[in-house]
Amino acid sequence: MNKRNFIIFLILVLLISLAACTAGPNTTMDVASPDGHIAGFFLGLWHGIIAPFTFVISLFTDQVSLYEVHNNGGWYDFGFVLAAGILFGGSSRATRKKRTIN
């Protein structure tokens, strides 16, 4: 096996491994919570913003979870990921130019 084929093989193994780690289906999507609410985009946005704090609290109690399972699907997910991306700097850190001192 030459080097090129080995690299292609490693990339395929990595992609298959990552695909195996994806979450399963959310059976409570579009099903109202006991209080009758379904989380949408704005609640997803809020949950994404408070995710670091919620994660720490969820380590110490079973009453708090990181992600609202009673959501409307894609819009909640989009809000959650958008807010988490904004909170952690998004791609702005990667595009920031370093200043050199002459």
Give ∠ CA 56-43-82 in degrees, rounded to 5: 80
Could you read off the pLDDT of 62-96 as tens digits, one per residue? 888 888 888 888 898 999 999 888 877 766 655 66
Distances (CA, A) of 9 to 15, 17, 22, 71: 10, 12, 21, 38
Which candidate, 49, 42, 30, places its Cα nearest to that of 79? 42
Contact between residue 34 and residue 68 where contact means Cβ atoms under 8 Å apart: no
- Average pLDDT value for residue range 9-22: 82
Q: What is the pLDDT of residue 71?
A: 87
Percent of the chain with pLDDT over 90: 11
This prediction's pTM: 0.63
